[in-house]
Amino acid sequence: MALPGWPHDGSPFHPGEQEVQRRVGVRDKVEAIGRQAVRGLMPEQHRAFFAQLPFVVIGAVDEAGQPWASLLFGQPGFAHSSDPRTLSVMAMPVDGDPLSGAIRSGAALGLLGIELHTRRRNRVNGKVTSVDENGFAVEVEQSFGNCPQYIQKRSYRTVTETGALLPQPESLTELDAAAIARIAAADTFFIATHYAAPGDGAAYGADVSHRGGKPGFVRVDDASTLTWPDFVGNFYFNTLGNLQANPRAGLLFPDFETGELLYVAGRGEIVWDGDELRGFAGAERLVRFRIERVLRLAGRLPLRWQLEEASPILAGTGDWPAAEASAAMARPADSYRSFRITRVERESETIKSFYLEPADALGLARHQPGQFLPIRVRVPGVGTLMRTYTLSQAANGRDYRISVKRAGVVSDYLHDHVGVGSLIKALAPRGHFMLDAAGTRPVVLLSAGVGITPMLAMVGALFPDDGVGHRQRPAWFIHAARNGRDHAFGPWLRELAERHDKLRVHVRYSQPGGDDELGVTQDSVGRIDADLLRSLLPLDDYDVYLCGPTGFMRNAFWILRGLGVAKERIHYEFFGPGGTLDDAPASAGGAGSDLANHEPQTVHFARAGKTETWRQGSLLDLAEQAGLSPVYSCRSGLCGSCATRIVEGGVVYPAPPLTPPAAGEALICCARPGSKLVLDL
């Protein structure tokens, strides 16, 4: 029989936890999950789990109200549960422990059962009901499991008592050299926090949690200050919620090799934004900790551990040197730097990927999924040209990747002349089309052609190859291409979807080739239309990210609106703020159709000797439809690459370009004819 969930009318989360959940945008979802997963009693498997442990972690407050984390240990079975609402622990804190005397009847206690060699952990919070010289019993108020993220795998052994005298406890007001060295090398610590409020609710009390990272993930800022990253977790925010309401906390850094226990007490502050946070890969927030007291107990643990394997999810997280270098690079964001091409890969007949690493040995400015990289290239016989290319992979702290479609002077030069070892200049990443990492809704990534590039960075952030992404929310990746020859990254996307059950991929080809196979290279044939999106997306509450040719995006925008997706949920990329999709509805036809309430105009391309009738879209769209290949990059009036001389007539801009053209020129990527027009193309 299934155990009941949360047995109380009130929330399993207190106001501090709820405030953090609300700020991150997961409040309603986590409330529903918590009512199922947080119980008022211990499941049978949790009771058996605690009984097999050689140690447990506890969190409580001393007489002054200061929280401390500590370890209790014994032979397996020393922690046991006689019934689902009781956990008994036959051990007490060692001499000199800050929680000596704090475990008394009625005291709030948090317990963490953690098995390092299996990476399992379960939590119990409650109140002490009885105490004697051998141990104590706790009445269970909250019981729930935790995932194995960030736990380093360690095997243990018991140390035989030698009878040697142990050093006396050392009490300090700040870190000394030995404490700094211990923390700087740590890959694990435990943190105790406490929340109390009138009403004595079951969601209140003490808590103790595990924190893990690469060695050095806790930065020693000075002898009185620590900073560490807060990675994505279960979104309960037990620790941060307590800190939000009560900043006092206690940290415990165990030395797994020597048995030393280093206790640190002080006050924690949540850092929600800043260059350091943005530069630390995998960090959702930072915690800055002001130290008030330090206590060191040498050789107290009768257990020793040997590291077997670091948590595999840590491969997707950064470190402080990289974060600090990234923050430093973000400050001179408008200065060009040299980057060396370290890898070139052909993704399709028309698209190549270029991997760029800094040539100056400094760090990378971290980018957000969806942003672009401005580059500067000297093309022989033409001059120095600027282009912007979307970064096509999630930030990894090592390199940038741009995936370039052959479509003009600079792209031709990159395809034909730039290889491994070549140098190009680039600014720091920028752009406002970004994945909302704090979102909780299902995600739709909808693209066509080379518009796939920002979506690759987004899907890579949501579903990384080497760990858990920002939110692990359901996502649809829907892509339109002409055929397999034009389609880039198809095999990689399908492999990613096979590894993540919350990611679904659908590819539609409009003109399949002889080597294309339905169900293998593509999932359907035709253009992306209302029937397809309706069949794939049964709900209407999505965050949609849209990128591709203007006509495709406009039509997709109005199809989504017709399916009930709110306008504010549809985010799109013109590779810069160069236009809007909601100025006119589209037809119910395929992705190539586009309606706009403007009079048709005649446009003559003088050098090509071609005359076309403009009805919608930009002049660049019209030129491409006429078979011309004008120079362009950003399609938004940002880079000025597409500036074209006006021979006769005038142009209008639906939105002012960021870089106004010179007199007598038009930025054809974002301009429309204002009258009969002749262009020098």
* Torsion angle in degrees (nearest 10) through CA of 217, 220, 225, 228: -10
Tokens of 117: 């060699």
- Has domain 601-679 been given CATH number 3.10.20.30? yes
pTM score above 0.95: no
Residue position matching structure tokens 């470190």: 319
CA distances from 361 to 170, 337, 339, 364, 391 (A): 42, 11, 10, 9, 20
pLDDT of residue 2: 43
102, 62 in Cβ contact below 8 A? yes
pLDDT tens for each residue of 275-291: 888 888 888 899 999 99
Sign of the CA dihedral 76, 80, 82, 83?
Answer: negative
CA angle, 676 then 574 then 436, to 5°: 155
CA angle, 109 then 113 then 116, to 5°: 145
Q: How far apart are CA 529 and CA 542, in angstroms?
A: 17
- What DSSP assignment string belongs to 355-387? EEEESSS--PPP--TT-EEEEEEEETTTEEEEE
- Has domain 332-426 been given CATH number 2.40.260.10? no
Q: How far apart are CA 23 and CA 16, in angstroms?
A: 11
Q: How far apart are CA 543 and CA 569, in angstroms?
A: 5
From 574, 591, 593, select the one nearest 671 (Cα to Cα): 574
pLDDT tens for each residue of 225-235: 999 999 988 88
Q: How far apart are CA 202 and CA 39, in angstroms?
A: 11
Q: Quickly name the fold that domain 443-573 has.
A: Rossmann fold (3.40.50)
**Paired sense of beta strands 503-509 and 524-525, if any:** parallel
Using DSSP's 3-state secondary structure scheme, residue 192 falls into: strand
234, 468 in Cβ contact below 8 A? no
pLDDT of residue 299: 85
pLDDT of residue 209: 96
Report domain extents, the chain. 15-321, 332-426, 443-573, 601-679
> Within a 10 A sphere around the Cβ of 653, how many other Cβ atoms?
18
Strand ranges across the sheet with 610-614: 610-614, 601-605, 677-679, 643-648, 665-667
Burial 356-393 (b: 16+ CB within 10 A, else e): bebeeeebbbbbbbbbbbbbebeeeeeeebbbbbbbbb
pLDDT of residue 440: 76
Alpha-carbon Rg for the chain in angstroms: 30
228, 219 in Cβ contact below 8 A? yes
Q: How far apart are CA 114 and CA 118, in angstroms?
A: 9
From 39, 86, 59, select the one nearest 207 (Cα to Cα): 59
Q: What are phi and psi of 558, to 5 degrees?
A: -75, -25
Q: How far apart are CA 98 and CA 264, in angstroms?
A: 10
Low-confidence ranges of the chain (pLDDT < 70): 1-4, 161-165, 198-203, 329-334, 438, 465-472, 540, 574-598, 632-640, 655-656, 658-659
Q: How far apart are CA 205 and CA 324, in angstroms?
A: 36
CA angle, 327 then 313 then 46, to 5°: 130
Q: How far apart are CA 468 and CA 315, in angstroms?
A: 11
Using DSSP's 3-state secondary structure scheme, residue 206 falls into: strand
Tokens of 541: 């509450």
Q: How far apart are CA 405 and CA 156, in angstroms?
A: 54
> 332-426 with 443-573: one CATH topology?
no
Tokens of 415: 């395809």
pLDDT of residue 279: 80
Burial 117-126 (b: 16+ CB within 10 A, else e): eebbbbbbbb
Q: How far apart are CA 510 and CA 593, in angstroms?
A: 14
Q: How far apart are CA 506 and CA 508, in angstroms?
A: 7
pLDDT tens for each residue of 517-531: 999 999 999 989 888
CATH architecture of 15-321: Roll (2.30)
Tokens of 665: 């020129």
**Paired sense of beta strands 400-405 and 423-426, if any:** unpaired
pLDDT of residue 64: 92
Q: How far apart are CA 182 and CA 164, in angstroms?
A: 23
Find all residues with CB under 8 Å of 226, minimum gap 6, and list them.
Answer: 183, 218, 219, 220, 251, 264, 288, 289, 291
Residue type, 219: R
649, 642 in Cβ contact below 8 A? no
